[in-house]
Amino acid sequence: METKRIYLATPYSHRDEKVRTQRFMAVSERANSLMQLGHLVYSPITHGHILGAFGNLPGDFDFWEAHCLSFLRHWAQELHVLALPGWQQSRGVLAEMAEAGRLGLPVWHLK
């Protein structure tokens, strides 16, 4: 099997902290599964959720946009979207999909 560099996106922002934590857990579990298959995975939600626990970092896409899109532009070979509820309205996911399209990266939707 070919090792791929996968950017794993999913919605995160929500007014309810429980929803944010559930999204973090779901995408982190999927990242783990992809890594067990031998892929290299960057999950901005996994990364950002942990860093946010230390405080002083906003959790919205306005703050994370440059960071996230940089990984798409300079590292990723594919964009995988974990299609959790709200993904079609997520400003971050939509921006990541648009950037992947502009770059010609394959986009996969995961259930």
55-107 pLDDT, tens digit each: 888 888 899 999 999 999 999 999 999 999 999 999 999 999 999 999 999 99
In contact, 94 and 79? CB cutoff 8 Å: no
Task: Please state the pTM of the whole predicted model.
Answer: 0.95
> In whole numbers, what is the pLDDT of the chain averaged over residues?
95
**At a CB cut-off of 8 Å and minimum separation 6, what does 36 contact?**
none
Range of the domain at 53: 5-110
Q: How many domains does the chain have?
A: 1
